[in-house]
Chains A and B, each alone.
Chain A
Amino acid sequence: MNRNMNADLAAVDGRRRLNMDKLLTIICFVLLFIIVIIPIFMIIYNAFFFEGTFSIDLFKEQLTADKNLSAMWNTLKIALFATILGTIMGVFYAWLLGRSDIPAKGLMRALFNIPYMFPPFLGAMAWDLLLNGRSGYLNRFLMTTFGLSKMPFNINSIAGIVFVEVSYYFPFVFLQVVSALERMDPTLEESARIAGAKQGTVIRRITLPLVKPAISAGALLILTTSLAHFGVPSILGYAQGIYTLPTRIYAVIYNSGGSFEGIRQGAALSVMLVAVVALALVLQNKILSTGNYDIIKGKSMRPTLIKLRGAKAPLFLVAIFTLILIVFVPLVMIVLISFIKAYGLPLTPGNFTIAQYLKVFKAGGTLDSIKNSLIVSITAGVVCMFLGTLVAYVVQKIKPKGKEALEVISVLPYSIPGTVLSIGVILAWSGNLGITLYNTLWIILVAYMARYLSFSMKTSSAALLQVHSSLEEAARVCGASHSESLADITLPLIRPAMVSGFFLIFLPAMREVTTSILLYGPYTRTLGVQIYSLRDAGMIPQAAALATVAIGLIIILNAIVTQITKDRKGV
């Protein structure tokens, strides 16, 4: 059939096929240019150029200001300690739960995952309520109980910030190392034992070096996240005048009332922050650079468990204590405070009420903030799911010239701090380029898209690598056009990955505060911003009530995700 096809028609057809690939590639570049390149460019431009001429004065001025220098110093100190302590804690618990015969492993692992999905700034809020240097509940309790003359703890300090960050960031290392330990070939350790090495030697000489890449990957994640983190230092540090670069950027812009000068100063500080992050990455690379080991296999094995014997009971107690401290205490505190009549009253049943919930939901902003967060998170999730898949497809399958650039551009926004990204977005989309999105939900959406694009890009990329090109080619040869083969073969095969990409974006976007705190307008508060501003305005029980609702929402959404991803058929 079709044998006498007109040769010219065929030729035209042949060229059109080429063009579809080209079209996808061009769309990719254009969208990434708009979403990523323009905001980043605007930051750099505004930090160094003033009214069209190059000037390094602003930058110098910001760099030498005492307040900024101390903020930079604080940022580094907090990040360094959080990374070191978080890594030690993560590795220790990964080993304990992955390799020892400690009881209740499954339950403990599930509980250790909670800090991972819990917004750290809510944890900071809870600890502030407990250990605030002036009025913390636990502090006052300890004072009266032990007759102390001053508050024993002060969470509003560098140490306090480090403590809260560690309790939320150690899962980065924990999760990485636990999975590496599980995928490690147990015969490697067994052969060392057979060769005569003692248990301690095996851990030191065999196990640790083998999981070193996993440790350093997790540590890197803690380091960059902490450097860029806004929530915890802003809640705990503000009152004491402890600033980090991200909170300093926020303060500069907030104090200037959103004036252009303030944003420009913010841009200069952003460049500093990015430089610090970049420096940290380079240092980390130097210190921890190791080859990757292929010895860790993809298939799952059953490693031999190490008997703790006498140490079992104490270690179990330590683990339980840690769990209570980092998971239950903050959670319970937030919930309790949400029921209190007024902040500061003792936590006795007589002082409990549900009035705070009624107040919060009667206030117009609350429902709107939930609605806003849902709209922006779902939209960002859906758009990124498709855009990320598009980028992944172009990079993995079309492989145009400059695909490396495409990859870097799409991952770039995630490695720059959310605060910095917000400033770029403000500079780009508040009229400077003729488009004004400021004070609309759109500007938050654009920022989320840039920030979270890499999540969906990575999951889709990994899935596409699994789809051998011969599957699509077979469809082409069977008579499907290029777009048909995409729709019939490739997309259905990576659909599960796309769905999990969506949730990877939707969930963090729902609880996000760092980016939207700089972008919200009177009618576009997000859930995170609403909690933050309620607390800022001193309405702490109300903030706690809304936080409780947010936590409930997160738990429900997470349960739904787990259910969905569990049911999906393995392809």
Chain B
Amino acid sequence: MLLAALLPLLLFVFPLWKITLEAPQYPTPLGMYIHINDFTDANPHDIKNINLMNHYVGMKYIPDAIPEFKIFPIGIAITTFIGLLVFWKGNHRWYLYWFLLMVAVSTAGLIDFYIWEYQYGHDLDPKAIMKFTNPDGSVMGFQPPFFGSKDILNFRAHSYPQLGAYSLGLGIALALVAYWLGKKETTSKKLFS
């Protein structure tokens, strides 16, 4: 359970997510890492160059900071603190509660990520240089994939979790394992007592 509580802290070291854009003119693809508190370039100046590409279709610049960068670290700090408290004081039942809390928090984070992506891909400048429509006549959006790969005009976009997200996931999973082990232990104790 200690490991489960501490693993999410790796989010402060490793990126959470990565979006990669491939195109013929980019033999080295453009890429952006999403950290818990920052966006960073995969290669120098990538975000600037993504912005330059995207301005043709009227997409907003990727912001230097979003409110989530303040909220998420606090959230992880709090849940880690709770996790440590649970490890110190709680029994396996509490492990399960922490697990459920973390699942809820992560789901909220993913929903937020999806909403941001949707807005980023659809909130287009009406004076956009190039306007594209879907076959049904609606305005084409440029939302990057939430998870997986997708073609967007001349780009192929990939969106996959990174080591930070895996650490978080593993931490959450370990809490569940700790719960099962704890439960087993108590059950066997009960049996033998």
A binds B: no
- Could you tell me which A residues sit within 8 Å of B by CB distance? none
